[in-house]
Amino acid sequence: MITSSHPQLNLFPTQTPNNPVLTSAQLKTARSGTFTDNMKLPVHRWFRYSAGFSADWVKQLIDKKSKTSHLNLLDPFAGCGTTLLAAQACKVSGTGFETHPFVYKIAHAKLHWHVDASALWQTSEKLIELAKKQLKPTQRLDIPLLNKCYTPDNLAKLDALRNAYLELDQNDARILIWLAITTILRACSTAGTAQWQYVLPNQVKVLEPFIAFKEKIAQMVSDIVYVQQNQWGKNASILLTDARQPQFEPPELFDMVITSPPYPNNYDYADATRLEMTFWGEITGWKDLQTAVRQYLIHSCSQHSAAERLKLDNILFCKIRFCNRLKRNSQMLVKHWLKFVSPKVAKKLITLW
* Tens digit of each residue's pLDDT (9 = 90 or more) over 294-319: 888 876 555 544 444 455 555 445 55
Could you say which DSSP state residue 169 is in? P
Say how many C-beta atoms besides its own lie within 10 A of residue 201's C-beta. Answer: 9
Q: What tens digit of pLDDT does each residue of 207-216 get? A: 999 999 999 9
Number of H helices, E strands in the chain: 13, 7
**Per DSSP, what are the bridge partners of residue 95?**
74, 237
Tell me which of 12 and 130 has the higher pLDDT: 130
Confidence of residue 321 (pLDDT cuts 50, 70, 90): low
Most confident range, picked from 37-51, 135-149, 236-250: 135-149
Tell me which of 308 and 337 has the higher pLDDT: 337
Q: What tens digit of pLDDT does each residue of 138-160 get? A: 999 999 999 999 999 999 999 99
- Over range 109-116, report the average pLDDT: 96
pLDDT at 196 over 80: no
Q: What is the mean pLDDT of the chain?
A: 81
Query: What is the total residue count of the chain?
Result: 353
Q: What tens digit of pLDDT does each residue of 119-142 get? A: 999 999 999 999 999 999 999 999
pTM of whole model > 0.85?
Answer: no
Three-state DSSP state, 190: coil
Cβ contact 168:127 at 8 Å? yes
pLDDT at 61 over 50: yes
Alpha helices in 135-202, H assignment, sequence order: 144-149, 152-166, 174-184
Q: What is the 3-state secondary structure (H, E, C) of 1-22?
A: CEECCCCCCCCCCCCECCECCC
Per-position b or e across 6-44, b if 16+ CB within 10 A of its CB = eeebeeeeeeeeeeeeeeeebebbbbbeebebbeebbbb
> Which of 245, 246, 254 shows the shortest CA–CA distance to 340?
254
Angle at which helices 209-229 and 152-166 cross, to 10°? 50
Confidence of residue 174 (pLDDT cuts 50, 70, 90): very high
Confidence of residue 339 (pLDDT cuts 50, 70, 90): low
pLDDT at 15 over 50: no
pLDDT of residue 329: 62
* Residue 15 phi, psi (nearest 5): -105, 125
Cβ contact 207:185 at 8 Å? no
pLDDT at 336 over 60: yes
Most confident range, picked from 30-39, 188-197, 330-339: 188-197
Contacts of 196 (CB under 8 A, 6+ apart): 50, 51, 267, 272
pLDDT of residue 270: 86
pLDDT at 231 over 70: yes
For every residue of 212-267, DSSP letters joined together read HHHHHHHHHHHHHHHHHHTT----EEEEE--TTS-----SS-BSEEEE----SS--
The H or E element containing residue 31 is none
pLDDT of residue 308: 44
> Which of 110, 49, 48 shows the shortest CA–CA distance to 238?
110
CATH topology of domain 2-12+66-99+232-262+294-352: Rossmann fold (3.40.50)
Question: How far from 44 is each of 41, 109, 131, 152, CA to CA, in Å?
Answer: 6, 11, 27, 31
- Over range 188-194, report the average pLDDT: 78
